[in-house]
Structure 1
């Protein structure tokens, strides 16, 4: 069980182009559980590109994978050879083709460098989740790669080892490593957006990545910035559930029995209460008003789930509702300061 103690952490994305400035802000406001920043102002740090290098047939300029191209088959063979070399041949993932580079993830390398001898409570990384990546990348005819079982398998294995790289890269800091799967597309699961996608298929891809993170000693979280079928994520073995608590708290609490069971079994909830997707709401928010919203949910969990306040606090985290990549830069410190204040108010 990870003891979050309602401490603040972050989703990952930030506005601007200065990684060093952002890392310094992270260490100032979230020193206990810092994360590495992604700056989508740089094309290589975009959500569908950052973890896709090395996928057979991947074309970054139009975010497609073409399984009919003449070089797809040899690239796929090379991909699986590299995957098996890591999984069965003993090749360290840190020295494999699945390793992230400073060009792709400057924030990751900078965070580790700046942490130095500091000992936070934990450190957090993130990766685009397998469902979101496989539904976001398309074949040339416009069909989501998730619908092709071969492409779905390749993408899932790619995500699993990109997550594994982060666990191995950060674990020598000597603290727990948390890896969030960023899964905004799961908000559309079960709707007409993804007709024909089965619950079992989603569980399989999430489970493969989650198992890889846990097998390497990491803690697996998931971030969905809207509503989804939260019982599915509990079933997938996710350790930390993170959601937009500002706009979707009532809908999340429809799953209060599943959430209570999740907490009772040692899982965590990361309450995304700071409204980073709504600049005007953020300007008007106070720590006290946002804390009151969460207190109503905590009360429901105590009454309906037979949980104690101590359990909810010990196994809780506070986060923004989503990443801050689209937030005006002048509001970033407002969001970060609210995170710390809410954490103090609720304890």
Structure 2
């Protein structure tokens, strides 16, 4: 690996490991305002991959720094490739493992995670963001070097709305919030309505407005998305496809309601 460190393309995903990724890159993407790549983050990866002593790499002080650099190289390789296909390309780093950092039993402290994540993101071109379906310490994430924070607001609305001051600082420095409001799980989706999902969003926005964040700023620095990455359902891809169609429908409704261009 070190022999190829300066060969960025070496770290990209090969067709052997993702046929869909390469098929996506062959498509005509010019009509989209932006395209997004996604890669598992170093903390989540480091919690799953074991060293020679069956110890997760994230706890190996001799290896952890190289892990951050290696995963950053992989993310940068994907982003660079995506930017050859669309100038509006950006990356989400999928970090479900971050919700376990703040457990008293994790052994991997938030201070260690902060240093590691800052080292990781410093090596990736902007715009860059984190996608997280779980419920971490939101203050921790809102204070990292992120451009976009994508979260499952459908599940975590009541908790996330409590971080008004941190959210305001994040927005004031130009951050974008991607509100994951449409559930992709079969049972949850089947019980929902678009009107209720809009009410969930607007309820959070109202709380943030009371914390001093103008609705205009929230709307200007927001994206909509699915709540989770769930792709396993009894009906296979059908619920996920419906969820994405709802994301578009909600976007249209909110744009019309708030006269957004």
Give TM-score, length-normalised by structure 1.
Answer: 0.69
Q: Distance in 1 between matches of 2:120 and 2:225?
A: 22
- The counterpart of 1:286, out of the listed 183, 187, 193, is 193
Partner in structure 1 of residue 51 of structure 2 = 139
8 A Cα contact 1:187 1:225, kept in partner: no
- The counterpart of 1:319, out of the listed 201, 212, 225, is 225
**1:210 equivalenced with 2:132 (yes/no):** no
Give 5+ residue unaligned stretches, structure 2.
256-261
The offset of 1:320, in angstroms, is 1.1
The offset of 1:317, in angstroms, is 0.9
8 A Cα contact 2:43 2:97, kept in partner: yes
SS of aligned partner of 2:87: coil
SS of aligned partner of 1:322: coil
Partner in structure 2 of residue 25 of structure 1 = none
Partner in structure 1 of residue 259 of structure 2 = none
Q: Distance in 1 between matches of 2:248 and 2:210?
A: 27
Residue by residue over 1:168-193, the C-alpha shift from the partner in whole angstroms, topping out at 9 and shown as x without a partner, is: 10112342221111000111111134
Partner in structure 2 of residue 221 of structure 1 = 129
**1:198 equivalenced with 2:109 (yes/no):** yes
Q: Distance in 1 between matches of 2:114 and 2:4?
A: 25
- The counterpart of 2:174, out of the listed 240, 256, 266, is 266
> Which structure is higher in RCO with an 8 Å CA cutoff and minimum separation 6?
1
Q: 1:204 to 1:119 in 2, by over 3 A?
A: farther
8 A Cα contact 2:25 2:82, kept in partner: yes
8 A Cα contact 1:179 1:213, kept in partner: no
Q: 1:115 to 1:188 in 2, by over 3 A?
A: same
Partner in structure 1 of residue 90 of structure 2 = 178
Residue by residue over 1:270-302, the C-alpha shift from the partner in whole angstroms, topping out at 9 and shown as x without a partner, is: 1111112x3211012121110100101111112
Partner in structure 2 of residue 104 of structure 1 = 17
Figure out how many residues of one structure are paired with residues of the other and give that number: 253
**1:187 equivalenced with 2:99 (yes/no):** yes
8 A Cα contact 1:119 1:175, kept in partner: no
Aligned alpha-carbon RMSD (Å): 1.7
